[in-house]
């Protein structure tokens, strides 16, 4: 099942974001540090490049991501023209407080009090845009929630005489090109529940964890390390169901509930610090997709 999710309100939100882009100085693009490129909306890149706006790439939820993978992504983005990258967690206000200063370095012509810096927050659903805005402002202005598409309209606030900040609704794009991106986004709670099948997404996640973080998987669910080596993704889901006592009427393992357990544990960081992609794995995936299209 290819995962696609593009609610009707996103078309209107895209048009309003394009209009706002004309009157701002810096785009603060918030992505999920665990899947930075999969959670980068190509429409955001298109809009800001059209207006030639610099971008502060914020890898949020860095406290949940693999630190080595995050360092690789920071280097990757800092080598792009007009982009500066920073990793942080909105749970740490001191880290978020650095953002206006970083934005000023990208728009030095707005450093005077007579020319306030205008910042626009953009990104896909549920990466922490509204939380980031509230932390920067030091007050609760934007509505937040642990589900995608909570914010439905733009709102602008004055940080001080030198800075204004505009929050935008989460934007996905009409067609997710790579199936693995859809699965990573679904695993990370960036798409609506009606667009995904928990068991399918959890099976994908289990396979990735087996390949890259088997020790974390074994530790969380009490699996012998030697057993991990011979399990496949479906067997991992079944082992979670068995060890948590999750069964349907009749006694069979409840793989659906086990899938939800794995997904929630990943989303909450209970498995440990995990990144679903690195610049290297991204390159391998893109090469494989190109070869598939050409074959």
Return binding residues.
Answer: 60-63, 126-131, 170
**Do 283 and 80 contact (CB within 8 A), yes or no?**
no
The residue length of the chain stands at 295
To 5 degrees, how large is the angle CA 49–CA 52–CA 53? 95
Structure tokens at 167: 């929050």
How far does CA 239 lie from the centroid of its chain? 28
Structure tokens at 220: 């969380």
Indicate the annotated binding residues for GTP: 60-63, 126-131, 170
Phi and psi angles of residue 232, each rounded to the nearest 5 degrees, phi first: -105, 180
Can you name the residues that pair with 166 across neighbouring β-strands?
A: 120, 156
**Do 54 and 110 contact (CB within 8 A), yes or no?**
no
Structure tokens at 229: 């080596």
The rounded distance, in Å, linking the Cα atoms of 294 and 230 is 34
- Percentages of the chain per state (helix, strand, coil), in multiples of 5: 50, 15, 40
Residue for token pair 């982009």: 83
């Amino acid at each position: 099942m290819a995962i696609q999710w593009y609610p009707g309100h996103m078309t209107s939100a895209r048009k309003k974001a394009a209009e706002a882009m004309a009157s701002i100085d810096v785009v603060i693009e918030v992505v999920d540090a665990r899947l930075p490129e999969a959670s980068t909306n190509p429409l955001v890149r298109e809009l800001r490049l059209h207006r030639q706006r610099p971008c502060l790439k914020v890898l949020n939820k860095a406290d949940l991501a693999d630190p080595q993978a995050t360092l690789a992504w920071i280097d990757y983005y800092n080598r792009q023209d007009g982009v500066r990258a920073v990793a942080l967690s909105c749970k740490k206000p001191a880290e978020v407080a650095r953002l206006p200063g970083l934005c000023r370095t990208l728009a030095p012509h707005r450093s005077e009090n007579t020319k306030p810096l205008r910042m626009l927050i953009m990104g896909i659903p549920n990466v922490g845009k509204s939380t980031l805005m509230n932390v920067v402002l030091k007050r609760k202005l934007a509505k937040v929630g642990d589900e995608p598409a909570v914010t439905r309209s733009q709102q602008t606030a004055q940080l001080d005489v030198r800075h204004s900040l505009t929050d935008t609704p989460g934007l996905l794009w009409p067609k997710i090109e790579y199936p693995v991106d859809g699965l990573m986004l679904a695993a990370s709670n960036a798409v609506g529940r009606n667009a995904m099948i928990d068991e399918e997404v959890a099976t994908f996640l289990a396979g990735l964890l087996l390949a890259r973080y088997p020790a974390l998987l074994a530790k969380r669910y009490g699996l012998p390390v030697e057993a991990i080596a011979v399990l496949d993704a479906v067997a991992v889901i079944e082992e979670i169901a068995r060890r948590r006592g999750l069964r349907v009427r009749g006694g069979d393992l409840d793989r659906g509930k086990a899938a939800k357990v794995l997904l929630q544990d990943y989303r909450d960081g209970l498995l440990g610090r995990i990144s679903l992609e690195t610049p290297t794995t991204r390159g391998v995936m893109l090469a494989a997709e190109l070869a598939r299209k050409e074959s």
